[in-house]
Chains A and B, each alone.
Chain A
Amino acid sequence: MFDEKLTAHMAELSKLSFTPEELTAMTKDMTDIIALMDTVCDFSPEIKPYALDAVDYEELRKDEYQDSYSTEKILENTENVKNNSFVVPKVV
């Protein structure tokens, strides 16, 4: 059921690119992995899906602002900076 078309679609959603050979290998691996995952499909759906325990509104963070980080710190892990901003190639 996991064919190369589906792998390619997942790769697009994942923003990963593969060579044709890699795509074939990934398709094979995904087929095997999904077969293992299929175990969950026969589980009885009568039970409520797990969710984190809720917290009370009163416990939320107070609406107070603090100093931000310096712009230098924020930009420190990339070299692609212009006008104190992150440089991004054009979005097509």
Chain B
Amino acid sequence: MTAVRASHVYKVFGRNGKEVVQGLKAGKTRDELKRLGTAAVIDASFEVEKGESFVVMGLSGSGKSTLIRMINGLWAPTAGTVEVAGQDISRMSSGQLRKLRSDNIAMVFQHFALLPHRTVRENAAYALEIKQVSKTHRLERADHWLQVVGLGGWGDKYPGQLSGGMQQRVGLARALAAETDILLMDEAFSALDPLIRREMQDQLVELQSTLNKTIIFITHDLNEAMYLGDRIAVMRDGRIVQIGTAEDILTDPTDEYVASFVQDVDRTRVLTASSIMQRPTAVITDTAGPRMAIRMMEDVKTSGLLVTTRDRRLVGQISDRAAVNASREGAKDLRSVITTENVLTVRPETPMSELFAQSSSSPVPLAVVDEQDRLIGVVPRIALLNSMASVSPSTGELPITRLSDSDTGQQAEADEVVASRPTAGDPAGASAVGGASAVDYASDSAPEGVSGEGPNDIDDAGRPGAASPIGGTAPFVFTPPESAGASAFGGESPEAEPPTGPDAPAPTDEKGV
């Protein structure tokens, strides 16, 4: 269901608004029409679904603040229509408009816009005061929402006694207390310190997961846009130049402008497990026999398999050794040898920044599961690194053994195999390498396109090395997708790398702030 729909909206400041719109429609530029009036918003069309977080991003002067003010009718569009909850607001009387604002749309402001002469509690109750809710009830509601935003007990203070971050929490409580479906946030966190801003962003995301409001968020900070937005509209000089998910904009910018904009974005906060996960192929159902498992490992050239139930619910993993033992003991199925050891699961929406630590402590690819625990993909460590940047040959400290092509997997979808397990080397050492590399790549991350095809770059880099079989010094085994020949390459031993603890944090978290 559409909460807000804008179609071909223009806003021109100046007396000859209609003329300017005509001119713009006839193809003239904004600068040519400057003398007639300033076109702040040009031909903006978008729809925001109910429950969606829609971010409008652009530099100052790009028209984003004007755009948001047309949604609640503070500005009337010069041309075009804005519909809120199915009603065209340009046809409303000022009374209807006021009712719409108090019932449907709440707003959070850049500089908080609190009433300095009222207490925090009275400020939070302001929207309800306009709705003419009785005093005791509205103060009660205000206290509730202050509690929700983490300001319980501050109700009797005045806004001037609070820090900026706390004041904006009051602003947020005031907007939430209005209990509207739509929340407009105009550069709501831009005036805050970076650390506080980050905290507020996290809080908003958390609140949104329970409140499920339609949020329209204005920002000039792309990291913020990418972190908060289900979809993002990028504005430039009054026009919306691209609308898409964070990933669309990051991986497929429409023009140079958007591309240069996204250059510096902190990818680890934007990309999620789902955007870098690969299709799991080294997977077997738990009803299969050990022989089947061994054959499959041979086919897909791995030394371990993830095990699911028939309805693809992840139950654990088995190693080649366990499968061979089970086969020797004549086990009918794999259930007895499944282990959950080392199997870490993440959700598709987990941001990449949170995958590093987990990945570095796990020798097996991270399993991506949905709400029902169903396996929907895997994130091998190398895919994680590769998403940050192309891996250059000079930094190749990962001893990698490429085995062979794998187009013969038992599962029809098998086109790439990613599986790994610690072998001879001690797992901690292997993890240490992974951890260290994660740090290295993350901090070196070059702003190039994110490649979805994981290991290819390594393949292209083609570092020649002695072929080393499974169980050599290689802690990882994986097969790149379009691998042609059987040219295996391995590398120096993991010990060459200074060991960094497996819990080495991914430092990229702070980057975008």
Asked whether A and B interact, the reply is: no
